[in-house]
Chains A and B, each alone.
Chain A
Amino acid sequence: MDTTEIKKFKYMGRIGQTFIYFLKLCRLFVFRNDWKVLPMAAVIAGMVSMVVGKGLFLTMEGTLQGAFALTCVCIWNGFFNSIQVICRERPIIKREHRAGLHMTSYVCAHLIFQMILSAIQVGITIVVCRLSGMHFPEKGLMTEGTEGFIVELFITLFLITYASDILALMISAIVRNTTAAMTVMPFMLIVQLVFAGYFSIPNMLREVTDLMISKWGTQGICALGNYNDLPAVLIWNRMKAAGNVDLGGVMTLSELMNIVEENGFRDRVQYELGKASQNANYVSTPENLMACWAHLLVFAAVFAFITVVFMEFIDRDRR
């Protein structure tokens, strides 16, 4: 390099650096044993489908439970993918930033890599659910056939995983070390679970749920699974369990339910019970599903933006 005058050389730009770092992440995924998240996704999906897969997309209660469980699986996968990726190499990034690395390129490389990783994990999850005999509806909200439903389910689960992944990436960019990251992660997980809309919460905190990945994830899966048109079986089953109740000396509750069953009214009663338990949030329309997707995408974009902003301040880290 000429030392007497400054030569205005051109150095690798943001796109080139993104590509370099993406390839680096791929190599590290193999050499650093990060690939273990893939079999882990299969094991988690297997456990969940074993426990809640029976009623998913068949009954109202089973669908809500299953949707919540699948959302939790996706959030867990997403969190685990990236909670440590930035904070564990913060001093290295600082060194590279000093040598000309653009933070936007670094974060973009992660965004692309995590996108592919999330997609693979969701693919594994769906395959495991299918193999474990989980019932899938015969059509999606926007597409025909079970394949269409699977595509829509894939997109929904992918967006939940990806938004959670980028949320964890953001946390990883904010905290200074892996210990802090692993302390924050369970807290964030609890917040996501509590405000998923699955548990009843005070009215004034309802709006908080709108800021949760878990809420839009559960809503998306329920909408996709025709939640509002499914039978509600919980009340029926509980009434059966309390079948000894005497109905004014005429007959017992159990006998009454047997009459209903023998005359072929059981399904109708269960569907009517379902109608009474409908939830406007879970209405099965393409618009509702698209709204869920849009929210998840916006979350991912906002988290990615915040990640870049925090990474731009990496030079302010103290020794």
Chain B
Amino acid sequence: MDLDIIACIFQLVSQLALSMGYFFIFRKSGKKGWYGFIPALRDYELAVIAEHEEEGRTYFILNACYFVSKQIYIYYDSGSPMQVFFAFITIALAVSSLFYSIRIYLALCRLYQRPRKWTVCWVLFPLITALIWGFNKNFQPEHKAWDSEEISAAKVSDASLEVIKKGLTVNLTDRTVIDFFKKRYLLKDIHLSIPTGHMVLLLGGSGAGKTTFLNALTGYEKANADVILNGNNVYNNYESMKYDLGFVPQQDLMRDGDTVNMTLIDASQLRLPKNLSFSEKNKRINEVLDKFGLTSVKNSLVEKLSGGQRKRLSIAMEFVSNPTLFILDEPDSGLDGIVARNLFKSLRSIADEGKIVIVITHTPDRVIDLFDDVIVLAKDAGRTGRLAFYGSIEDAHAFFGKDSMEEILLSINQKDEGGEGRSDEFIEKYGQRITGQAG
């Protein structure tokens, strides 16, 4: 028989055997086995079961580029400059792919609780390794892969709240992203109305979608939702309303080399209307400096400020425009108890001026007496951010049957995060309540 035909048959058989190895690995890991027969996809899916999806994505793209580059290399005449050029590119892509594959195999070893030296076998002898891992019953993953399609999460309430005239009404159906050809739900079914003058705590475990929710609320990242502030649709009027929505990020994002005063002046130039006179702007800056206790350091460089002062300056930058809706993402991170409490007292006084203040904090219990309401966001079984509760602090204690916010958080956190894993129970319970309220 011709040598080429033998080589071809050998290639085919080895590819088939490799696919079979992958087939059984995927079956063991709770994925569809047929993924193992699609060369590029199977590597990506292997990364997904190893919980390294991002690496898998990059590996997939690198492999695709490697394939294209290799074909171009073959197309050009031997020894031509273009062939040499594409040889370099192909080698660079191959090396990059190799390192990404090593990362994926290392993660796979962790998942299957096998020594890391198996990574060498995966790289050098993928066929034999895939067959061993696929067919040997001793090779079992620590846990099955998570598949959103096969998991039943809490039911969607389909509620829609009536818009309140003085305050914020949110009717959010969903917030999705297309992630590597897949539609992912980040948030779903959030309906609430916050009256003006309320200071609201936003509670939720990591990955529950707190920041995504706040971004959707301010129209910065639009969701499939109606967000109405004092009778005006935020999404439809974003350009004119964005100055009325203050968002203080978690990090103190300011330039260290500028002075406190100049930082506030520049912030006011951006955020205050153009027709305001210089003296009016200056008056507002002085008010804000005074309110946040920054007058004594107004000529200092930002880099010279203490943690608490930096945080207050970061808040002052947003507060200079006197926004109706004021949102703060962990304003107390890195602050000690007394400084943090004083900061929250300032926020309480802002709410008392008829504003809505929404705050994320990971240490809510030390300042809970300053809040009116709490929003509890939780990840459902499908890992989508859902509303588990919105109401007064006392009501929250009764609803969850817990005495503190930290206990509430523990009850909704997933079991693998050290929580009680009851999020779906509370989401459904609250869904029924909100459906009743909406009529």
B331 CB to nearest A CB, Å: 14
Is the CB of A238 closer than 8 A to any CB of chain B?
no
In the complex where A17-B270, A205-B81 touch, is A11 in contact with B324 (Cβ < 8 A)? no
B232 touches A100 (CB 8 A): no
* A272 contacts B by Cβ under 8 Å: no
Known: A202-B81, A204-B81, A204-B82. A9 touches B262 (CB 8 A): no
Could you jot down 12 A-B contacts, CB within 8 Å? A1-B243, A1-B324, A3-B230, A9-B240, A9-B273, A12-B270, A20-B270, A92-B253, A95-B249, A98-B220, A100-B242, A315-B221
In B222-277, which residues have CB < 8 Å from any A CB? 229-232, 237, 240-244, 247, 249, 251, 253-258, 262, 266-267, 269-275
Among residues of A, the one whose C-beta sits closest to the C-beta of B354 is A3
| Cα separation A100 to B240 with both chains bound (whole Å) | 10
Q: Which B359-386 residues sit within 8 Å CB-CB of chain A?
A: none
Cα–Cα distance between A28 and B321 once the two chains are bound (Å): 24
The answer to the question of A115 belonging to the interface, with a C-beta cut-off of 8 Å to chain B, is: no
In the complex, A20→B271 CA distance in Å? 13
Q: Is A10 in contact with B275, judged by CB distance below 8 angstroms?
A: yes
Given the contacts A3-B230, A204-B82, A95 and B253 also touching, CB distance less than 8 Å: yes
Report the Cα distance A11→B241, complex, angstroms: 12
Of A20, A28, A91, A100, which is within 8 A of B257 by CB?
A28
- A16 to B270 Cα, complex, angstroms: 9
Q: Does A6 contact B (CB under 8 A)?
A: yes
Are the CB atoms of B253 and A91 closer together than 8 Å? yes
Q: Which residues of A contact B (CB under 8 A)?
A: 1, 3-13, 16-17, 20, 24, 27-28, 31-32, 89, 91-92, 94-96, 98-101, 202, 204-205, 315, 319
Do B257 and A32 have beta carbons less than 8 Å apart?
yes
- Knowing A1-B322, A27-B257, A31-B301 are in contact, say whether A8-B240 is a contact too (CB < 8 A): yes
Give the contact-size bracket for chain B: 35 or more
- Residue B211 at the chain A interface, CB threshold 8 Å: yes
Evaluate contact between B266 and A20: CB separation under 8 angstroms: yes
Q: Which residues of chain A are within 8 angstroms of B273 by Cβ–Cβ distance?
A: 9-11
Chain A contacts of B221 at CB under 8 A? 315
CA distance A91 to B251 in the complex (A): 9
Q: How far is the CA of A27 from the CA of B255 in the complex (A)?
A: 11
- Check if B324 sits within 8 Å of A3, measured CB to CB: yes
* B256 contact set on A, CB distance < 8 A: 32
Q: Which residues of B contact A (CB under 8 A)?
A: 81-82, 165-166, 196, 211, 220-221, 229-232, 237, 240-244, 247, 249, 251, 253-258, 262, 266-267, 269-275, 301, 318, 321-324, 354
Of the residues A31, A32, A99, A319, contact of B267 by C-beta under 8 Å: A99
CA distance A3 to B229 in the complex (A): 8
Residue from A3, A10, A17 having most chain B Cβ neighbours under 10 A:
A3
> Which one, B220, B232, B270, B271, contacts A315 given CB within 8 A?
B220
Residues of A within 8 Å of B318, CB to CB, are 99
A259 vs chain B, min Cβ distance (A): 47
Q: What A residues does B270 contact at CB under 8 A?
A: 11-12, 17, 20, 96, 99-101
Bound complex: CA A96 to CA B243 (Å): 12
Cβ of A4 and Cβ of B258 under 8 Å apart? Answer: no
**Which residues of chain A are near B324, meaning CB under 8 Å?**
1, 3
Contact between A100 and B243, CB atoms less than 8 A apart? yes
CB distance A9 to B254 under 8 Å?
no
Query: Complex formed: what's the CA distance from A3 to B249 in Å?
Result: 23
Question: Which residues of chain A come closer than 8 Å to B271, judged between CB atoms?
Answer: 11, 99-100
Taking CB atoms, residues of chain A closer than 8 Å to B82 are 204
Residues of A within 8 A of B258 (CB): 24, 27-28, 31
Q: Which residue of B is nearest A17, CB measured?
A: B270
Instruction: Report the separation of the CA atoms of residues A31 and B272 in the bound assembly, to the nearest whole angstrom.
Output: 26
Q: Which residues of B contact A100 (CB under 8 A)?
A: 242-243, 270-271
**Contact assessment for B274 and A11 in the assembled complex, using a CB-CB cutoff below 8 Å:** yes
